[in-house]
Structure formats: C-alpha cells, structure tokens
Amino acid sequence: MDVMEMLKHLNESDKEVWLKLESTFTSSGWKIVVEMAEDGFKQSQSRANRAQTWEENRIEVGRQMVYEDIIGMADRTYHQYSHIATEAMYDKQELEGQERIE
C-alpha cells in the first residue's frame, strides 16, 4: 500500500502521528542519525571481532542491536502504519458488506 492510499484509511489521530513521523524520517537530521548509527554499527562490529573477552564481545553485540534498531526504525514504522491502514480498510469493507480481499 502506498502512502497516499494508506493515509485515506487511517483515522485522524493516526494520520497526524504518521505525518509527524514521516516528516522526522525524511529530515536531514534523521539522515545524519542513520549515518551515525551505520558507522557506529560497523565500528562496534569491528570491536566485537577484536574483543578479548566474552563480556567485551557481548557489550558490542548489544550496541549493534541498538544501532540496527535505529537504522530500521523508519521502515518498521511505515510497516506498522501500513498494517493499521490495511486493517481499517478491511473493517470498512466489512461494514459495507463487502468481502475481505487480501
């Protein structure tokens, strides 16, 4: 579902939140945050490979998970709101007596 189609099916409060999030995720500031997270991930991966102890390795693996969360946040948010919109579309179809088409 593209963004315009998705926006048609979101309720007003979800639409407002989505528009704010979309504005954030398309900003130059967010692009910098993602670039920093990508660099941090690579550095942490390198440190994990050179770790002297299991504990040092686990710390770096934990950092990598945080960086991955930041890197994928925009995509996960889009998919979450796409799911909400799809469910709203199906609910509307059911109210109108239409069969659910997936």
Residue 101 in any domain: the answer is no
- Number of structural domains, the chain? 1
Contact 85, 1 (CB under 8 A): yes
pLDDT tens profile 12-55: 998 999 899 999 999 999 999 999 999 999 999 999 999 999 99
Domain membership of residue 10 as a residue range: 3-94
pTM attached to this predicted model:
0.75
Residue 102 in any domain: the answer is no
Give CA–CA dist 91/102, Å, rounded.
Answer: 13
Residue 26 in any domain: the answer is yes
pLDDT tens profile 63-93: 999 999 999 999 999 898 888 888 888 888 8
